[in-house]
Structures are given as C-alpha cells and as structure tokens.
Structure 1
Amino acid sequence: MFVAVVLGLVLMYRYRWKLRYLRNVAIAKFIGFEPKKPHQGIFKYDAFLVYDSDDMQFVLNECVQELEVRRGLKLCIGDRDFMPGTYVASDIVSAVQNSYRTVLLVTPEFYDDDYVEYAVNMAINEEIHTSRQVLHLCLYQPVALAEMPRDLVAILKRNEFIEYPPEEEITPGLIENFWDQLSAAARQTD
C-alpha cells in the first residue's frame, strides 16, 4: 500500500504540468469555453504575449503600438485582456488555445512570476496535444544560457527566437527589422 501511494505521488509530480493543463481544459469546457480548433480556421488572436510584470509598460506601449496599431496584429495581453476576478489559470489556457502563437518576452527576471512559468508549460502542452508550433521566444534582454530553465533552452535550440537589439546598438532600421520579424513570426498564416 505504501509503495502504491509513493508511486502515485511520484507520477503526479512527474506529470504535474500535463495534469494541470488537462484540469484547466476541463474547467474551461465546464464553464462554457470552447477553444477554436486549428481545422476551424482563424484563431481569435495572432499572439498571446507572456512577460514578467516589470516589462508591462514595454508591452502595453511599444508592443501594442508596433504590432497592433502599425502592423494590424491582434494580441492577447493578460494585463489588458483577462477579465478581473476570473480564474487566471483558465485564462492562460484559453489564451494559449485561442492564439496562433504564444510569444515569450524573455528577460533575466522572466521566471520570477509563477504565472509565467505556468503559461510556458501550458504552451508546451498545447504544442504536444495539437502538434502545432505554438511557442516563439523574444529575447528582450540578454540572459545567460546557464541561467535559463531547461524548457527555454530547448525552445532556443529550435532556433525559433528573435533578439531585441541591445540599447547601445539600436538604430531605426534595426528596431524596424525587429518588429517586422516579430510580426511575421506571430501573424497567422493558416
């Protein structure tokens, strides 16, 4: 009996993110949310932006201006689009499922927020369950590879990332190229 309980706990810990993902999908379906399936066509959002709370002003000012206003993308931004008082974990699952891409705005403080880690793991689970590329990294500030969690390193190794130009190297052409690349990565092509 003891061995069965320990084995059960070990398995629950090993598959904790998958179990959380499935739990939140079930909760979302129970309350009436029905995500769009890839074969149903267009997603509600081009991209769901995941970022540390310290970068909120960059997201709400520059990202919205460059990607939504200038380039016509539809972004899902938690601080703006999640309904106050709702279950944040379900909002994250909903945002991942209803977005063509989940863009991770990576900084050294990226994983300081628990919901950031949760969003990354839900996007990884979405990739596994739907067999579509969901994640795209944007290195907003330099982060040493040794300081990154393994899941981010694995995403980086797939060569699916864009680097924001270092402050001392920013030129109008370079910054324009960055926004063009990010827009192209997030824009729905299906």
Structure 2
Amino acid sequence: MQTITDCDMEEDDRITMLEPRFRSISLQALRPSARRQIAMHMDKELTTINVDNGMLCDWRGLAEIVGFSNLEISKMERTGKPTEELLYEWETNSNCDSTLGHLWSCLQQLDRKDVLSDSKSYVERDAQTFIDQQERLKNDYCPLQEPTISSTTVPANRDHLCDETRYLTIHDSENPDNPIIYDAFVCYNPDAEGKDGYFVQQCIKQLEHKHGLKLCIPIRDCLAGGAKYMMDAELIKARCRRMVIVISHEFLLSQDCDFQVKFAQSLAPDIGRCGKRLIPVLLEDRLKIPDILRHVTICDYTKPDLMEWFWDRLASSIRAPLDPEQELSFVPRKIPEPESLPDSISINNQDETSASPSQSLITSLLGKCTETRLTLE
C-alpha cells in the first residue's frame, strides 16, 4: 500500500508554493495567457465539495471565498468565461484583497494543487515582468520641477493683484503697457481639418505679409491658462476693429464660433453697424448662412473666377474706417441760380413788320412778362 510521506508533502509544497516577493503583487499583473491557464482548470464545474470549508472546488467556490454574492456569481456565469470575469471583478473591487498571495491562498483552501502547479510558472513570469516595469518607470521618472529651483522669483502677491484683461496675448506678456490693437479677429474652428486651417494660413500670408494688416488668431496669439470666453470677449470688444468669420461646415458645429459671432453682433445690434464690423467669408458651397449674417455682404471664396480680386477686396473691407467722422464726406454740388431776365428783348436784324408769326408771338409774350415784373417792382 502506497503512503504519502513527509518528503512527498514537502515536495508538493515546493512545487505549488509562490515566491514570497510575488505575494504582494496585484492581480492586474496577470496577462491573458496566465488568466487563461487558470481558467482552463477552474471553468470546469465540479460537484465535489471541499470537506474543510464546504466550498465547491471550481470557480464558484473561489468566488465565494473572495466574498462575491450569489447575484454577482450568476452574472459571471452568464458571460461564458466565468473565471476570467471573476479575476477582472476581483482586481477592480477595492473592498477585496486583490493580490497574487490572496489568490494563491484561496486556491490552497480549495485544495486545487493542479491549478497551483500548472499556472505557477505563468504567474511568476508575469509578476517578475510587472516588477521590472515598475522599476523601469521609477528610473525614468522625471520631476515636474527642477530640484535646484526652490520657488519662483515672482513676488507672491503679484499674480493675485494682476488684471487678467491686460494679459491676453503673447505680446501682452512681453509689453503689457503697450497692447496691440488688431485689425481683425479671425473667427474659425481650429479643430477642423483641411480647408479652414489652410485658409487661415493664406490669411496670414496675404493679409499680414502682403497687405500689412494685423490679425488676431486665438490659437496663435492668445496666452494659455485664461478663461477662454472672457479672453475672446475682451479681444473682440476692446482690441479688434473687425471680425473675419470663416464660414464652413465645421464653423456651424462650433460652440466657440457661435459665441464669438453673437458677442460681436451684440456690440453693434443694428444691421448697418453690424455689417461694418462683421466680414463673413464663405468657404464652402451649399451652406446655410446663419440668420445673424444673412443680411451682411459676404466675401465668396468658393468661386475661382473671383480669386483675382478676393484678397484685395477683403483687405480693403478690413482697412475701411468704422468711425463715421473718418469716412469720406460728399459736398453737395451747388445748383447755379438762373440769370435775371433782360428788360427788353429785341430780334436783331429784323423789324416787326418782317417778323414771322411765331417770332411775333414770342416777342409779345416776353413784353407782357416784362410789364408784369415792372408793375410788381
């Protein structure tokens, strides 16, 4: 009769024992191959019950030991891969001890030495990989602040007392006492790909480099870290003479563009002044123009035959004065007063006897007019 000796038990413990340095590693270290190896054994539902604790010796008993409820176990069963679902729920549950050491202890309570021996190499391999990754991340760690710098050289009360409206653009941070007044604020959707960004690049090339205008392009000129809508509103209101609105499909989907246009329109609600401040540019065909811009003259960028005049027209529209006192005034032309009638009109080289009937009639009428004027005088 074969008996189990103490040496055999020690050999089994050696084969199934997990190294102590791996016991505190999280279950998240297990990769798919190790999870599948454990599931190959535990997914098979068994009818045997462990005599020591009364638990089923499959994945259901493991879930009970961990502390999952019957409802949670039923949900795991419906997934078709109960053991893998159990490991996932286990490692994401903050109320459970989700370490490899606890997993090993639970399998030992179920007396599943087959699982321990067959999956040990997979588990220890993944645990070692996890430790190496953590060590590598620790060595590659870069501090957020240079350790030689203890604190900023800017006085502590300077930022708290700062007027944020003075520091809106990159130029303001370098020269806050001499802010730039921009010729136009470019309203477009910077998240759009393709035509919108290309058109803004052309604006920089044609309007700034060629025509000498200064454009405010938020994604290029504005400082980061400020309140976006506050910065846009302050720039549109106090720092930009006009607004160039790039109308495209992406523009119509942008909430930022909608705010910018409506705010600019609110500064000059009547159609005349609004039309002078807002300069829409149509970038795509067959777009529904917003109602707020329907009565404003549009620069059409969609027609190739208009490209010859497009940039000069747009530059002139931006450069035109907004102040009525600066606009050209037309002096009305004076209408000359009629010359005074002569006291008498004679027909030269003709006497009354030789005058024609029509000439006699004209002479008679003029004579009566003269007599009437003399009487009134």
Question: Normalised by the shorter chain, which TM-score bucket?
Answer: 0.5 to 0.7
Provide, for residues 49-107 of structure 1, a one-character-per-residue CA deviation record: whole Å limited to 9, x for no partner: 10122212431x21100000000000000110111111110121122121111111101
1:83 to 2:83 alignment: no
Higher helix share: 1
Any conservation in 1 of the 2:282–2:302 contact (CA below 8 Å)? Answer: no
Q: Which has the larger radius of gyration?
A: 2
Alignment-derived partner of residue 232 in structure 2 = 92
Alignment-derived partner of residue 188 in structure 2 = 51
Alignment-derived partner of residue 161 in structure 1 = 298
Distance 1:33 1:85, change over 3 A: closer
Provide, for residues 1-43 of structure 1, a one-character-per-residue CA deviation record: whole Å limited to 9, x for no partner: xxxxxxxxxxxxxxxxxxxxxxxxxxxxx93637xxxxxxxx8
1:144 to 2:287 alignment: yes
Alignment-derived partner of residue 70 in structure 1 = 210
Could you say what secondary structure the match of 1:128 adopts? coil
Provide, for residues 125-163 of structure 1, a one-character-per-residue CA deviation record: whole Å limited to 9, x for no partner: 11139x843211111112433xx4322xxx2323x2110
1:124 is displaced (CA, Å) by 0.9
Higher RCO (C-alpha 8 Å, min separation 6): 1
The alignment covers a number of residue pairs equal to: 140
Q: Whole-Å Cα distance in 2 between the matches of residues 176 and 85 of structure 1?
A: 41
Any conservation in 1 of the 2:187–2:257 contact (CA below 8 Å)? Answer: yes
**Which of 152, 177, 187 matches 2:309?**
177
Q: Whole-Å Cα distance in 1 between the matches of residues 294 and 213 of structure 2?
A: 24
Distance 1:188 1:80, change over 3 A: farther
Q: Whole-Å Cα distance in 1 between the matches of residues 185 and 256 of structure 2?
A: 13
Alignment-derived partner of residue 33 in structure 1 = 165
Any conservation in 2 of the 1:108–1:143 contact (CA below 8 Å)? Answer: no
Any conservation in 1 of the 2:248–2:287 contact (CA below 8 Å)? Answer: no
Give the aligned residue type for 2:225.
G
Q: Whole-Å Cα distance in 2 between the matches of residues 157 and 143 of structure 1?
A: 17
Q: Which runs of 5+ in 1 are unaligned?
A: 1-29, 35-42
Runs of 4+ in 1 over 4 A off after TM superposition: none
**Two-structure CA RMSD over aligned residues (Å):** 2.4
Q: Which runs of 5+ in 2 are unaligned?
A: 1-161, 167-179, 324-377
Give the aligned residue type for 1:179.
W
Could you say what secondary structure the match of 1:142 adopts? coil
Give the alignment's TM-score, normalised by structure 1: 0.65
Q: Whole-Å Cα distance in 1 between the matches of residues 189 and 211 of structure 2?
A: 24
Higher strand share: 1
1:176 is displaced (CA, Å) by 3.5
